[in-house]
Amino acid sequence: MEERIVKKIILGISIILSGFMLAACGSVDNLSKDTSNSSGSKTKTQLTGQTNTDYYQGVIKNGRYQTSKSRGVSVSQESNQFNIKGFENGLLDISKKEFSTKKYIFQEGQYLSTSTVEKWLDRKSKSNPTGLNPVKSKSTNPNTRNPIYLSQIDEQDFMTQSGKSLKLSAMTVGLGINSVDYYKKTAYGPTYETNISNAQVKKQGKAIANQVIKRLRQRAALKNIPIIIALYKQASDDSLVGGNFFAYSMNDDGETKIAKWDTINQKNYVFPLQSDKKGPSQNDADSFDNFKSEIQGFFPNLSGVTAQAQYTDGSLSGMNISITTQFYSQTEIISFTQYIQNAAQRYLPANAPIDITVSSTEGIQSFLSRKQNEKKFSAHIFNSY
């Protein structure tokens, strides 16, 4: 009864608003109710809608997407963009393993604020007792100084519906650990590098993870939910792919110490491989090279064909190919795209999902994609009127 009256009022206020609610909210219709938040004003919670179980639905509050409480910290911290996108995507993939997209609703991290994250990412010091990076050492020698290990933190919240509201039911926290720490000895001086061994990345990452889970459990809302902590090894600043997750831990309700780590065997490569580098599969590298020379023969002015390739447990788990060129006409783009579609089908490794984008100086021209378990590439050619 009450719900119906509320709905009638909402519908009365604005056809557009109510239209949106009914449309954009899929299974969330019963979430569209008014609830009081701490400041006493009314909060309406909605969901983005889910069109594909590859992705979680997201949370909308009062018609606005609920952004992360530490929004933008990674962007300002990281100089290699690939470490950001790869980190966020990889973390979502880990979350999906444990928290089904059918059951859980995704919420951008609401428990770690910008200031908390900034403090945690900083060095421990008198003025910053919660710093998760080691105290500054007197030495500035790259091999003896204490480097910055922890480079970025990402929090993902997973909600379930509880009656008419959303309840936090799980959390995933990703920790990005440097493989190289870039530092300056004097304010405007040159940049030095401390290389951090794989063994140290693991050891320090796991130690920091234990501190993080302990801190999270001190908060009432996080005491009794499952929390995943995942560890990511950051790529160096000059890398054309991001780093990789190497371990994660699923901590059941209430656990304050990490009992067990699951290993993630994932690595990214850039194709064509540099002559001094070896990929996990010579076959895949050759396939790409054949595809590349095929494509580059097609047009007089084709410039670049490169790819990011991801391997999981030794086999190709995804590839993004980027083709840049100077085109003259739309008919050339159409012919080229059809040609790529056939060449991709023939040359590129089977099974793994593959994206191909064709761009000119004026932006993306066409785009091809083959999803996991699909046999054929689909293509889209961008148009203009």
For a second copy, the binding residues in 205-244 under the rule CB under 8 A are 241-242
- Which one, 194 or 268, has the nearer CB to a second copy? 268
Q: Which of 197, 329, 361, 373 binds a second copy (CB under 8 A)?
A: 329
- Which one, 131 or 279, has the nearer CB to a second copy? 279
- Which one, 143 or 329, has the nearer CB to a second copy? 329
- Which one, 65 or 135, has the nearer CB to a second copy? 65
355 binds a second copy (CB under 8 A): yes
336 binds a second copy (CB under 8 A): yes
CB atoms within 10 A of CB 253: 11
- Which one, 258 or 264, has the nearer CB to a second copy? 264
Smallest separation (angstroms) from a second copy to the CB of 372: 12
User: Contacts with a second copy in 80-109 (CB under 8 A)?
Assistant: 81-82, 84-86, 88-89, 92, 106, 108
Name the residue among 350, 353, 347 with its Cα closest to residue 319.
Answer: 353
347 binds a second copy (CB under 8 A): yes
Of 13-21, 115-123, 134-142, 144-152, which part binds a second copy (CB under 8 A)?
13-21
- Which one, 19 or 254, has the nearer CB to a second copy? 19
328 binds a second copy (CB under 8 A): yes
357 binds a second copy (CB under 8 A): yes
SS3 (DSSP) at 28: helix
- Assigned token pair, 228: 């995943």
CA 72 and chain centroid, separation: 13
DSSP per-residue letters across 351-368: SS-EEEEEEETTEEEEEE
User: Contacts with a second copy in 41-60 (CB under 8 A)?
Assistant: 48-52, 55-58, 60
SS3 (DSSP) at 329: coil
318 binds a second copy (CB under 8 A): yes
As a whole number of angstroms, the distance between CA 313 and CA 176 comes to 21
- Which one, 84 or 222, has the nearer CB to a second copy? 84
Smallest separation (angstroms) from a second copy to the CB of 219: 21
Strands 227-233, 165-177: pairing is parallel
HEC profile of 107-145: EECCCCCHHHHHHHHCECCCCCCCCCECCCCCCCCCCCC
Sheet strands (E) in 22-73: 34-36, 42-47, 57-61, 64-65
SS3 (DSSP) at 16: helix
SS3 (DSSP) at 52: coil
User: Contacts with a second copy in 133-192 (CB under 8 A)?
Assistant: 154, 156
- Assigned token pair, 87: 């980190």
Smallest separation (angstroms) from a second copy to the CB of 33: 19
Write each residue from 251 to 270 as x if it is in contact with a second copy (CB under 8 A), else as -, in one continuous string.
Answer: -----------------x--
- Which one, 72 or 254, has the nearer CB to a second copy? 72
* Strands, sheet with 363-370, edge to edge from the N-terminal-most edge strand: 266-271, 302-312, 315-325, 354-360, 363-370, 378-381
26 binds a second copy (CB under 8 A): yes
Smallest separation (angstroms) from a second copy to the CB of 65: 5
Contact 151, 176 (CB under 8 A): yes
**Interface size with a second copy, residues (CB under 8 A):** 86
Contact 295, 338 (CB under 8 A): no
